[in-house]
Chains A and B, each alone.
Chain A
């Protein structure tokens, strides 16, 4: 099993004088077989950190380990699937040829989709259906480390629950190491053992999830907690 380690990772995006530091000296360890949640507002560098971990953006400093068998599930199901490729072809792409059709059906079923959808193009699916396809596709590569970037923000609650349970189940069964990025603190709390709070490229607070969420040390963490929409105390009622 492998832990996912970030050692003093920095990422600068853009060229020359217009370059900006998006991730700033991040040191974080996702323990082997554990789930660490990463929260923070949009543009704070969560997605960039995730992309750096799978080699989609180069590091300008520090190191990340391991460098292989890491899969990323993307946030936006509208652009993470090739609009010209059927669902089945997208999933089959990373599979060995002979097991393809069985495996495609199994994976579709696993994420709660009708295997008959395999022949459809992404544009014929609703947003939620697409994200499940993207999830199934990431699992084809049998990764050891999975980074989930806001994977449930486009899913509806019933499927979100299904996917979260599924993610937890698969994570435990396969002993996956997982970095779970989400803006939904309730979701992060449910899935993760540890949580790290990121702001403007830096980790401002991290620790066991219950502790960070019940006794937040950083002012920004408290702001995030206050912004969580909850049903039971809805102000609109």
Chain B
């Protein structure tokens, strides 16, 4: 609501700025000698001034100068701030520290004070005042630019560009500025509101716009002199200043929300919860679309309570999207269709830093889960948080809960994420590459932890990973995905069996994947086995088996007809295993 009101008033303001003087310009100058300094009347809704000019028309006309000067001021502040704030990045560390120190010093002075001093120095008049306020706001913009630039400068892509020899200037405009533009725009919008108010104040004090020019501040001053005769003449410009200032501010806030509001919130739209008995997860014909691209094409599977299922497949096969869809986390424009019935779910991501709020202490984030979902008291929730952190083998949990996410190591963050999942009573834990960012020793601990959690709480686990060895270590059953579909569903024992010994996976793709895993006995002199060719992209419409172009067993039928998934494998010519046949006949 507020947003629409702000947008409308901003549009109205821009309209006035553009057309006000054209529409009301003559009225504002017309001197009505019959009506000097009058109160409100039908002919003059807000009365007239000392020369008999219509006050309302003058307010309308003054909006151009007022808004124009505010924008000029903001432009000066932003341009100066960008230069001063960006220089450290361009000049290098030593000069940078000097500039930063200087900016830090200047920021400590109140802006309005500097503006007043500068206004005296620059002399009176609209442009001089704009310069004064603009220059006075440069330091705070510079500080903001610096802080934002510093946070971006710490990211790997900046380091990567530096190693490649990208120059500092190019770095600034090509890599740093585009990545900090959003908060700067927000700040500039807010700054424009502030400038408008500051300007009105200066003009009101006689330091800003000088007659015969007039902005709202001047009108306010004139009106205030006769406030007992005609209150509208003072209220009008005053109200205009306040409304315009508010409009800029609300717009700024809204922009901040729109830009910054991408934080992940666990939502459960598009999936229904199920009470305990029955499968922990049942997925029927799950499809995910992005426009013409269909990265997940009708996936169906079930997971029973306590079961640990791995989803493997190449990059882009749709395994992460399947996991996200199951958790109700696919964001628009992604469209999810199909049936998902899932018990209470906890999600663990590859990078816990993106799913933990960096601004909140661990205790606050963990406790929030229990207070909002389980209706627990704050106190009880906090002590439960400590218990859960201890459960996931975090030493000194009582101390750790008071820390912020960035103060924890990667392994600890991942444990904290799992602990967060355990604050409720999940029947299903979905972990997307939970150990990919961790080294082997920590990886093993996290996998052991997940296994322990599933045995002690009976929660089912769906583990998404590109690493077959990791899946082999934790899971009992594996789903193999290729180009958005499940091509094989097999027990881990078949995955880990020697394929040559008459056992092993039935689908040629699963076998190819296995052959590509290097282990400590691989022949170093030979190239690693790879799968030639590329997986079809989600945009490709594939007739026939999607794996056919890369499959050593493919024949004409494979290229023409798509094999259906029969519950175990989707292939016309699966590797039959005598062992399995024997089992079945028994």
Binding site for B on A (CB under 8 A): 40-43, 51, 54-56, 70-72, 74-76, 78-85, 93-94, 112, 114, 126-129, 134, 137-138, 140-141, 153-162, 164-165, 168-169, 183-187, 189-190, 213, 223-225, 227-237
Contacts and interface: CB of A to CB of B under 8 A. Distances in A.
B316 A231 contact: no
Contact of A237 (B174, B493, B530): B493
B470 interface: yes
A204 to B, nearest CB: 14
B276 interface: no
Interface in B426-472: 433, 436-444, 447, 451, 466-470, 472
Given A161-B529, A162-B530, A186-B522, A234 B473 contact: yes
Contacts of A155: 315, 466
Contacts of A93: 161, 164, 166, 174
A42 B313 CA distance: 26
A94 B492 contact: no
A81 B313 CA distance: 24
Given A80-B156, A165-B527, A231-B496, 17 more contacts: A56-B162, A72-B160, A80-B159, A84-B175, A85-B175, A94-B164, A127-B350, A134-B160, A156-B315, A157-B466, A183-B438, A185-B440, A189-B524, A190-B522, A224-B440, A236-B451, A236-B472
A171 to B, nearest CB: 13
Contact of A158 (B159, B163, B444, B512): B512
**Dominant secondary structure of chain A at its interface with chain B:** loop
Contact of B476 (A94, A159, A236): A236
A237 B518 contact: no
Nearest to B465: A156
29 contacts: A41-B439, A42-B410, A42-B439, A71-B163, A72-B160, A72-B163, A76-B156, A76-B437, A80-B157, A80-B160, A85-B174, A93-B161, A126-B316, A127-B436, A128-B316, A129-B316, A141-B164, A153-B436, A153-B437, A154-B436, A158-B512, A160-B518, A186-B520, A187-B518, A231-B472, A231-B495, A236-B472, A236-B475, A237-B496
Contacts of B527: 165, 168-169
B315 A165 contact: no
B519 A231 contact: yes
A71 B164 CA distance: 7
Nearest to A44: B439
Contacts, number: 199
B530 A42 contact: no
B163 A41 contact: no
Contacts of A231: 468-469, 472, 495-496, 514, 517, 519
Contact of A165 (B164, B447, B528): B528
A81 B159 CA distance: 10
A141 B166 CA distance: 11
Given A42-B442, A186-B520, A229 B530 contact: no
A123 to B, nearest CB: 11
A189 B409 CA distance: 27
B320 interface: yes
Contacts of A55: 163
Contacts of A223: 441
Given A158-B516, A227-B441, A128 B409 contact: no
Nearest to A71: B163
Nearest to A72: B163
A72 B160 CA distance: 7
Interface string B151-181: 0000111011111111000000011001100
Contacts of B313: 156
Given A157-B467, A164-B528, A224-B441, A126 B166 contact: no
